[in-house]
Structure 1
Amino acid sequence: MGALVPEVDQRVITGLLTTRLARTKGRRLLLVHGKYAAGGPEEFSVPVGDGTRRKVRVTHTTSVLGLTDAWQAHLAAEGADLLVVTTDVPGERISLDLLGEMVRSQIIAVDEADIVKQLFGAADLDPRMRRDPWLWLPAALIDAEADASQGGWPQYGAVLTLDAAMRALVGVRLGLEGLFEGGASVDVDALLAWSRTPGGPERLAVLSEAERRGITEWLAQSAGEAASVLLRLALQGRGPEATALGVLASVMTGDTASADAAVALGSVFGLGSRPSELRAYARAVSGTLTRWIGEASGRGPQSEEARQWVVDVLHQADRLADNAHLTAALAGNPFLPSGFQARLHGLADALSEGPQAAQAAWEHVVEHQLAAVLYPKRVELARMAVRLLRWLEAPEPAVSSVGQAVSAHVADWGWVDRALAQLWVGDGETEPVLAQAYRAVHDAARRRRALLDKAFAAQLGPWVQRATAAQPGGALPIEDVLRTIALPLAKVRPPLVLVLNGMSSAVAAQLGEELTGAGRWSELSSDGQRAAAVATIPSVTVISRATLLCGRPVSGGQSVEKDGFTAFWKQHRHAAVLFHKSEIPGPDGQLLDPRLVAAIASDDVVGVVLNTIGESLDHGQRSALADWSVSRVKYLAELLNSARGQGRPVVLVSDHGHVLDRTKVEVRPPAAEGVESARWRTGAEAGEGEIALSGPRVLENDGRVTVPWSEEIRYTPRKAGYHGGAALAEMTVPVLVLAPSAELAPAEWSELPRESIQPSWWEAETPSAPVPTPVRPAKRAAQAKPKPRPQEGELFADDAVKVPAAAPPAEPAMLTLGQQILDTTIYKHQRKFVRKSPEHKVVASVIDALDHAGGTLSLAAVAAAAIGSGGRTNTRPEGLVTVLTRLLNIEGYEVISLIDSRTRVRLNRETLREQFELPEESV
């Protein structure tokens, strides 16, 4: 019989008393069928319903005489008021005098279910908890109650369900209490994190076999087959590598699965894992890693922690794959660093196959989960190589004049220089095979660029001899930048003129992309393109910057610039002030000098000279000149913010550009005649790669100098970069006009859509993509009647070539996507509930523009499409998109939305077709 006597401990007795004390009716003796656990406390207290506690003494006996002695001893003792005796004595042998003292006058059998109900405040239990295979659960819940959070088990209501009980138990046993708040279910994501916590898997290992097996089976039912694999790994002591092993398990999925890979994987996981379990485990780990990579892409300590965890896990996975000879089988894995490297190797091969193959290979690189988080610079470097390859496949560019060349350089060839600079510098991690592929593209592009510089020099010689301020020969001289660009702006709101000393077209391309892409600035233009001026000769600061700021050809330092800047604006009835390097920083606690801040807040024209780029040419590292951002130009962000706060437009202009040093040796002997600086001399004899220039545009050596057009020539000791020569990158002066709002545009000016600024080869072409047109601000544009749209047989609206009347009628054109939407009953019904809806032609035009562009356009391009439709919108671009969301986002589905900090518009084509019930064959 002894084997049938249950062992009870303090928790069981406490539970029994808590459920029985209310019915004691003053009795002080409780007999329990069982055996008190050895080493348990003999005295303790238990809670009573009114908030007080009763003192309890516990003992064990196996005879009737022992029961009598224990009771008598209890009566004689002081302290405890309740005696609990555990015994195996049958109830019929208990004397009548003891029966009268006993609670309920009988020996109490231990009913663990009753105790559990009491602990959880439930009236009943899930019936499954009283049957196999869950008979172990009540005892486990009683045992784990002491480890529950303060206050004991949570109260779940009238019936304690099996899942609620298991959530409570698993939370305490495995240390996952917070996981189940609000009734949440367990998932592999949480278990993977748990498997890596110190001591986490050991908490499962120390449980009894029945409880361990029950928890494992419940987790597998709740979280899927993957949980079984994970828990087996945890019990084997392999919890810290469980996530990494899940990456290896991906060899069981996809097209690369093979029998050899399965055998190798089996040796890693050992016996007991079914293929379906391993596939489920691989999918679960993939989902977890994707979420963690998403967290790692942010900023702050939490993102940095996630990033480090991802790095550690995936490098661990690569080591495990190498040990198991699975690296080749996992080459296509989207998480492993080795897989990312394999994709880059594929790109290296594709670069020799042409732009389409290279673009596809680059997109494959970008699809790797680590691309954006861990390798953004390597991805961007690969992208630059693909971009240059597209440029090399484009028709051979030509130089027809100085003005055409500098405009083309700002619009196109400067972007080439930007990509070339990044490829030349590299990232320090590129493997030889990839570096060789990049260098082949780089060198081919450099050869083409050198031909353009040579052709430009041929045009520059004659132009310099006859060009004057009055007759600039189709170009914009640098002295006319203030008059032609800054002065019209001042009629609306005095501008802030920021002179970035040495800013090349390549740097301007990157800065402009960042500033307009953030959605904070609109870029304006008087002729639908970014402006480009021609520097003085030689293209050095002392001449070119003074000429720019004074509005006339002149040479001089800061005092000349200040006086000339003030005089120019005074001549045009504007007060003006110019700030140089030492006048920009403020005192402690202030970013900008208070006088500069006050000037920007006034109605004066304000000029500021920033020397960061120029100083980097002399003192910076080569790598520092390949990648420019707003934050790298000292004080630029602060000045732009200040201008925005005061509603000022900004003219971002250079005094000259620069070339980078790409030479390994001196390419011009020290004996070169008349050396004045790194890139110009007075010697008359021009050698290979040089040109002798003379004329009114030459402001040194009585109007005659010799300068190199080749970027490879320098006359002085090596630096990071140079200026003063006649290369396009030095002679081109980019001018960016930025405004907080397009409303600041002068009459007949326009906002430049981002798509019109980037050269066509910069991004992969989208079939049938429309060319965005400049967006003119409505408040100053003449209210002309819209011109009729081209009809069938017309080429252009203005000079139409019409089909003769006798010609047979053309086949009816297929309806565009926008027209199809407008024809649906759903759209017509939806339009009734949207006030001030745009005209039909506007809605159709915007839908079609987005569709043709692949689903995404800038706000400016969307506005251009709306204006180009000839219809009325009665709202600004962002307001137009808001109205379109009311029209097209049926039942809350996101058909059209603003993205990228509300600067771009995205159309979900498939959702649009589905919501408006277009037939599948419609395109």
Structure 2
Amino acid sequence: MTQATTGAAVPEIDQRAVEALLWTALPHAKGHRLVLVHGRYREGAPGAFTTRLVKDLAQDGEPEQRRVHVSHQSSVLGIVDAWQNHLAQHPDGSGGDVLVVTTDAPDTRPMPLDLRGQAIGRSLLTVDRVEIVKQRFGAVDVDPRIRRQLWLADALLAAEPPGGWPPVGSVLTLDAAMRALVHARIGLGDGVSTDAVPLDAEALLTWSRTPGGPARFATLQPEERAGLIDWLESAVGDSAPLLLALVQDGRGDDAMALGVVSAALTGPKTTADAALAVGALFGSGPFRPDVLRHYTRAVEGVLARWITQATAGGPRSAEARTRVLEVLEQADRLADRAGLREALADSSFLPSGFRARLRALATTLTPRPDQRAVTAAEAALHQVRSHHLANLLFPEQVQLAEMAVRLERWLTAPQPALASGSGAVGAAVRAHLGDWGWADRALNRLWAGDGAMDPHVNEAYRVVHEAARARRDHLDRQFAKALAIWTQHATTSQPEGAVVVEDVLRHIAAPLAAQRPPLILLLDGMSSAVAAQLGEELGAPRWTEAAPEAGRRAAAVAAIPSITTVSRATLLTGGLVTGGQSVEKDGFAAFWRRRRHEAVLFHKADLPGPAGHRLAPEIVTAIAGDGVVGVVLNTIDDALDHGQESSKGDWTVGSVRYLSELLDAARGQGRPVMLVADHGHVLDRTTEGPLTAQGVESARWRIGLPNEQPGDDEVHLAGPRVLEGGGSITALWREEKRYTPRKAGYHGGAALAEMTVPVLVLLPSAETLPPGWAVLSPEAVTPPWWHDASRTGATAAPQPAPASRPAARKTAEPARLDDAPTPLSLGAKVVDTGVYAAQKQFVRKGPERKAVAAVIDALLAADGTLSLAAVSAAAASSGGRAPRNAEFFVAALQRLLNVEGYPVLGLIDAGARVKLDITLLKDQFGVKA
């Protein structure tokens, strides 16, 4: 508030300006009720209103209400008359009524002195709009830049919300004023004057898709629009002017989609025609190619963040997914309209770009791949995975592509062959569990396919499937021949190099029981492919996998025929028998009783609990007790028998009924778990009808006629391990054949998938590891062709060697001139430094030096990344026992290696894997490789 100066332009005044003047003037009025203001009261503004003064003006601390009357006069005489009329209507002033007279009179000097004496300030006051704005924000001072923005004060006064501007502190800055203005005017941002929620490209692009904001922006006065654009460009970046130009043209809804389409200017297939097409989509405006490229990067950055939010889950993921799909669907429509499909074929955002990458992958697939073809396929797969929509919209298609490339890698290896001699069958089932069963897993997934897939891609997958299937058939044929020979002589006491199914309890479960009675989960029909998937899901950090033999899981040979009544009863009783549940229950208890353990076996009908309980109380009580507990889970076998194959050929922990609950119960009681099958299964993969044959007993085996020669797809099996047909049957070895009507899957035949009995042992901690056993890392049990090295960096960690007696001391031989000392490994160099010695002082009872060195060397060989189990195995390979608790062991390693808090060693993948920063390790300890 200042005195008016002669010749000043006559400002237009509204109610808010009057209120602001009163808030400043009335505290010093001392009973004066007349305010003279240089200006013109806005036409249509209220002539009388009530205002509330700020709290500290009222003696009682409450806001004071004053009634205000406004009159505009253009002469001194008019001012005098207005004041006299006011006095006549409010003679005593007890109501606190105030008269505000605005005037545009060119000269008020003749005004009577007594009238001037009645006026607040004894003069004609002028309106300083910036001062008014400052007051409205509750500030003491104002940023000088606000005064230089001539349009800003008027805009802030006009845009003030009904509840007033939020207080900003002692100084009203330009950024605070602009943030408040863009929120009030166009609904952008939150109107807060702090940096807690910054205005950035994401906020601006999100706003462009709101229903009302862009329309409100288009209605602003040109000067105010230009001012907002200038400030938003400084706050948000170079993408703001282009976006706001689109909004001003009424194209806010298309703004983000246009940013996706403008990527046609930066891709490898950019042409002059594409540039013209993009320009036509954008229309007129400041859309130079460099501006468009910058805008494209901003849009893609925001989309990438939305996609990450959509795939991460959480309360806002569905909203983010909807936003992404809306933008990309718009972009696809714009690309079609402009003829930009080819130019955008490499788009990392458009669904059409993902499909183009899949087609590019399909061109690299071949039934007879070499290393060059595999390299090309892996590069194409990397492009598929790197598409931004891969995990959001196309996870199944990505998985299919991965399975196809995995089979390509498997096909590049030399044709596998069965070992010869008496140990062929045992070697074959071990190889099937450790390698060929993983190929079955990929084949099952590739066969299931995806109905929405491009037919060209499906054809490429079919070619790979048939090539891999032919290799598997070759292995099954070889195995059938070896099985026929082995079956004639193999017995429980003389298994000829194989673990037979009746010995699984004795060889694997009994050593576990010596440490802590196990929970034995028999998954009826679990094949090697299913075991591979379950084992992958059940790894660290929750469980530690172990096996009697270092570096591989245990596998047994099923009884013959490989059906439930034969092989399951044989496994659970520990002897070659046939029978149903009563035989299994009695035989299971008798087996463990002979080994001084109480035991109980539960079948499907025993599992359901009462209302509110997933498991029956008897099972929960048994698991909490001290006896051996066995549970038969029929989910896989029952589903196949009833024509209900699992989704996409997969079996997860969650899809096997009761499995998750039983595992949790066992872990809660500190019990080891043995997952075992009684036999495997094959899936129906043909539309052909059943074979016509005599003596059919089941889908995959029959009783042969005397002197009958088996067909090309069959093998004759006879011997002490054949428990049906009087010791002689004919079984199918080819997976695609059957004798009975169609179902989802079958068992009872002589294929590797049916005859291999997988065994997985899960320990709650390494403390229950039986003597002589080894911890299994994921790297050790996964075939090298399953993952490409560029993704995992995984090299199998050294495994502990079987214990042996110390060798007798030999007489030292004289040193030779050409003898040279063995160079120290990186791990040995690290633990030999003074820095390591200093770190060791702060770690009480830490791991031995040689264990630390072995882990560092194993991580170096694996390009810095290993699973928790592999780290434990590496520590044990130094000559000691595997760490009891892998997590505690890694925590001790971190205290030793993370000098001054630098992240030399850490956990990734939700704590499942260990990551070593090799470069930082060398720097911190001052060593060289």
Q: Partners of 1:112 and 1:512 in 2: how far apart?
A: 73
Instruction: Mark the CA change 1:806 to 1:514 in structure 2 (over 3 Å): closer, same or farther.
Output: same
Q: Map Cα deviations across residues 416-449 of structure 1 (whole Å, 9 max, x no partner).
A: 1000000111122221111111111111111110
Partner in structure 2 of residue 225 of structure 1: 238
Secondary structure, in 3 states, of the residue corresponding to 1:516?
A: coil
Does structure 2 conserve the Cα–Cα contact (< 8 Å) formed by 1:630 and 1:636?
A: yes
Partner in structure 2 of residue 66 of structure 1: 78
Does structure 2 conserve the Cα–Cα contact (< 8 Å) formed by 1:497 and 1:607?
A: yes
Provide the identity percentage: 56
Does structure 2 conserve the Cα–Cα contact (< 8 Å) formed by 1:47 and 1:54?
A: yes
Instruction: Mark the CA change 1:632 to 1:894 in structure 2 (over 3 Å): closer, same or farther.
Output: same
Partner in structure 2 of residue 771 of structure 1: 796
Say which of 753, 761, 770 aligns to 1:746: 770
Q: Partners of 1:648 and 1:909 in 2: how far apart?
A: 37
Does structure 2 conserve the Cα–Cα contact (< 8 Å) formed by 1:425 and 1:622?
A: no
Residue 548 in 1 paired to residue 571 in 2? yes
Give TM-score, length-normalised by structure 1.
0.91
Instruction: Mark the CA change 1:768 to 1:858 in structure 2 (over 3 Å): closer, same or farther.
Output: closer
Does structure 2 conserve the Cα–Cα contact (< 8 Å) formed by 1:343 and 1:365?
A: yes
Secondary structure, in 3 states, of the residue corresponding to 2:508?
A: helix
Question: What is the one-letter code of the residue matched to 2:515?
Answer: V
Secondary structure, in 3 states, of the residue corresponding to 1:372?
A: coil
Secondary structure, in 3 states, of the residue corresponding to 1:603?
A: coil
Question: What is the one-letter code of the residue matched to 1:141?
Answer: L
Does structure 2 conserve the Cα–Cα contact (< 8 Å) formed by 1:775 and 1:860?
A: no
Larger displacement relative to structure 2 (646-655 or 53-62)? 53-62
Larger displacement relative to structure 2 (838-847 or 434-443)? 838-847
Instruction: Mark the CA change 1:839 to 1:554 in structure 2 (over 3 Å): closer, same or farther.
Output: closer
Does structure 2 conserve the Cα–Cα contact (< 8 Å) formed by 1:753 and 1:773?
A: no
Q: Partners of 2:852 and 2:711 in 1: how far apart?
A: 61
Instruction: Mark the CA change 1:248 to 1:890 in structure 2 (over 3 Å): closer, same or farther.
Output: farther
Partner in structure 2 of residue 84 of structure 1: 100
Residue 122 in 1 paired to residue 132 in 2? no
Instruction: Mark the CA change 1:514 to 1:487 in structure 2 (over 3 Å): closer, same or farther.
Output: same
Secondary structure, in 3 states, of the residue corresponding to 2:341?
A: coil
Larger displacement relative to structure 2 (840-849 or 8-17)? 840-849
Partner in structure 2 of residue 707 of structure 1: 731
Does structure 1 conserve the Cα–Cα contact (< 8 Å) formed by 2:267 and 2:344?
A: no
Q: Name stretches of at least 5 consecutive residues in structure 2 with no aligned partner.
A: 1-5, 367-371
Q: Map Cα deviations across residues 555-598 of structure 1 (whole Å, 9 max, x no partner).
A: 11112211221221122211111111121111111111111111
Say which of 455, 475, 481 aligns to 2:504: 481
Instruction: Mark the CA change 1:195 to 1:859 in structure 2 (over 3 Å): closer, same or farther.
Output: same
Instruction: Mark the CA change 1:841 to 1:172 in structure 2 (over 3 Å): closer, same or farther.
Output: farther
Q: Partners of 1:487 and 1:875 in 2: how far apart?
A: 21
Secondary structure, in 3 states, of the residue corresponding to 1:233?
A: helix
Partner in structure 1 of residue 393 of structure 2: 374
Secondary structure, in 3 states, of the residue corresponding to 2:796?
A: coil
Instruction: Mark the CA change 1:904 to 1:179 in structure 2 (over 3 Å): closer, same or farther.
Output: farther
Residue 361 in 1 paired to residue 380 in 2? yes
Secondary structure, in 3 states, of the residue corresponding to 2:35?
A: strand
Residue 349 in 1 paired to residue 374 in 2? no
Q: Partners of 1:784 and 1:81 in 2: how far apart?
A: 109
Does structure 2 conserve the Cα–Cα contact (< 8 Å) formed by 1:841 and 1:871?
A: no
Instruction: Mark the CA change 1:901 to 1:285 in structure 2 (over 3 Å): closer, same or farther.
Output: same
Residue 896 in 1 paired to residue 881 in 2? no
Partner in structure 1 of residue 251 of structure 2: 238
Offset of 1:207 from its aligned partner? 1.9
Say which of 703, 720, 730 aligns to 2:754: 730
Q: Partners of 2:130 and 2:193 in 1: how far apart?
A: 24
Q: Partners of 2:301 and 2:123 in 1: how far apart?
A: 58
Offset of 1:523 from its aligned partner? 0.9
Q: Partners of 1:319 and 1:74 in 2: how far apart?
A: 68
Say which of 491, 495, 505 aligns to 2:528: 505
Instruction: Mark the CA change 1:295 to 1:891 in structure 2 (over 3 Å): closer, same or farther.
Output: farther
Question: What is the one-letter code of the residue matched to 1:81?
Answer: D
Say which of 329, 334, 340 aligns to 2:354: 340
Partner in structure 1 of residue 114 of structure 2: 97
Question: What is the one-letter code of the residue matched to 2:257?
Answer: A
Q: Map Cα deviations across residues 821-842 of structure 1 (whole Å, 9 max, x no partner).
A: 6688876776676666656554
Question: What is the one-letter code of the residue matched to 1:142?
Answer: L
Offset of 1:765 from its aligned partner? 3.8
Residue 28 in 1 paired to residue 33 in 2? yes
Secondary structure, in 3 states, of the residue corresponding to 2:539?
A: helix
Does structure 2 conserve the Cα–Cα contact (< 8 Å) formed by 1:46 and 1:56?
A: yes
Does structure 2 conserve the Cα–Cα contact (< 8 Å) formed by 1:179 and 1:186?
A: no
Offset of 1:873 from its aligned partner? 10
Does structure 1 conserve the Cα–Cα contact (< 8 Å) formed by 2:794 and 2:865?
A: no
Say which of 691, 696, 699 aligns to 1:668: 691
Q: Map Cα deviations across residues 680-733 of structure 1 (whole Å, 9 max, x no partner).
A: 111233111101111111111211111100112111111111111111101111
Q: Partners of 2:925 and 2:70 in 1: how far apart?
A: 76
Partner in structure 2 of residue 609 of structure 1: 632
Does structure 2 conserve the Cα–Cα contact (< 8 Å) formed by 1:499 and 1:654?
A: yes
Question: What is the one-letter code of the residue matched to 1:66?
Answer: G
Instruction: Mark the CA change 1:893 to 1:327 in structure 2 (over 3 Å): closer, same or farther.
Output: farther
Does structure 1 conserve the Cα–Cα contact (< 8 Å) formed by 2:776 and 2:873?
A: no
Residue 160 in 1 paired to residue 172 in 2? yes
Q: Partners of 1:96 and 1:688 in 2: how far apart?
A: 127
Offset of 1:621 from its aligned partner? 4.0
Partner in structure 2 of residue 791 of structure 1: none
Question: What is the one-letter code of the residue matched to 2:21?
Answer: L
Partner in structure 1 of residue 613 of structure 2: 590
Within 5 Å, which residues of 2 pair with 1:255-266? 257-266=270-279
Offset of 1:498 from its aligned partner? 0.8
Does structure 1 conserve the Cα–Cα contact (< 8 Å) formed by 2:690 and 2:741?
A: no
Secondary structure, in 3 states, of the residue corresponding to 2:545?
A: strand
Partner in structure 2 of residue 680 of structure 1: 701
Question: What is the one-letter code of the residue matched to 2:537?
Answer: E
Larger displacement relative to structure 2 (904-913 or 725-734)? 904-913
Residue 569 in 1 paired to residue 592 in 2? yes
Q: Partners of 2:827 and 2:282 in 1: how far apart?
A: 55
Secondary structure, in 3 states, of the residue corresponding to 2:759?
A: strand
Partner in structure 2 of residue 792 of structure 1: none
Q: Partners of 1:182 and 1:119 in 2: how far apart?
A: 18
Partner in structure 1 of residue 23 of structure 2: 18
Secondary structure, in 3 states, of the residue corresponding to 1:30?
A: strand
Question: What is the one-letter code of the residue matched to 1:900?
Answer: D
Larger displacement relative to structure 2 (254-263 or 901-910)? 254-263
Q: Partners of 2:667 and 2:332 in 1: how far apart?
A: 49
Does structure 2 conserve the Cα–Cα contact (< 8 Å) formed by 1:537 and 1:698?
A: yes
Residue 56 in 1 paired to residue 68 in 2? yes
Question: What is the one-letter code of the residue matched to 1:360?
Answer: A
Larger displacement relative to structure 2 (818-827 or 862-871)? 818-827
Does structure 1 conserve the Cα–Cα contact (< 8 Å) formed by 2:765 and 2:885?
A: no
Q: Partners of 1:619 and 1:872 in 2: how far apart?
A: 47
Aligned Cα root-mean-square deviation (Å): 2.9
Partner in structure 2 of residue 291 of structure 1: 305
Does structure 1 conserve the Cα–Cα contact (< 8 Å) formed by 2:779 and 2:795?
A: no
Instruction: Mark the CA change 1:860 to 1:621 in structure 2 (over 3 Å): closer, same or farther.
Output: same
Does structure 1 conserve the Cα–Cα contact (< 8 Å) formed by 2:189 and 2:203?
A: no
Offset of 1:260 from its aligned partner? 3.9
Instruction: Mark the CA change 1:567 to 1:824 in structure 2 (over 3 Å): closer, same or farther.
Output: closer
Q: Partners of 1:351 and 1:548 in 2: how far apart?
A: 42
Q: Name stretches of at least 5 consecutive residues in structure 1 with no aligned partner.
A: 788-797
Offset of 1:59 from its aligned partner? 2.3
Partner in structure 2 of residue 109 of structure 1: 126
Q: Partners of 2:838 and 2:761 in 1: how far apart?
A: 44
Residue 386 in 1 paired to residue 405 in 2? yes
Q: Map Cα deviations across residues 840-859 of structure 1 (whole Å, 9 max, x no partner).
A: 55444433322321221001
Larger displacement relative to structure 2 (327-336 or 405-414)? 327-336
Question: What is the one-letter code of the residue matched to 2:395?
Answer: P
Question: What is the one-letter code of the residue matched to 1:362?
Answer: L
Offset of 1:259 from its aligned partner? 4.0
Offset of 1:536 from its aligned partner? 1.4
Does structure 2 conserve the Cα–Cα contact (< 8 Å) formed by 1:501 and 1:612?
A: yes
Offset of 1:264 from its aligned partner? 2.4
Partner in structure 1 of residue 917 of structure 2: 908
Offset of 1:256 from its aligned partner? 5.3
Residue 850 in 1 paired to residue 859 in 2? yes
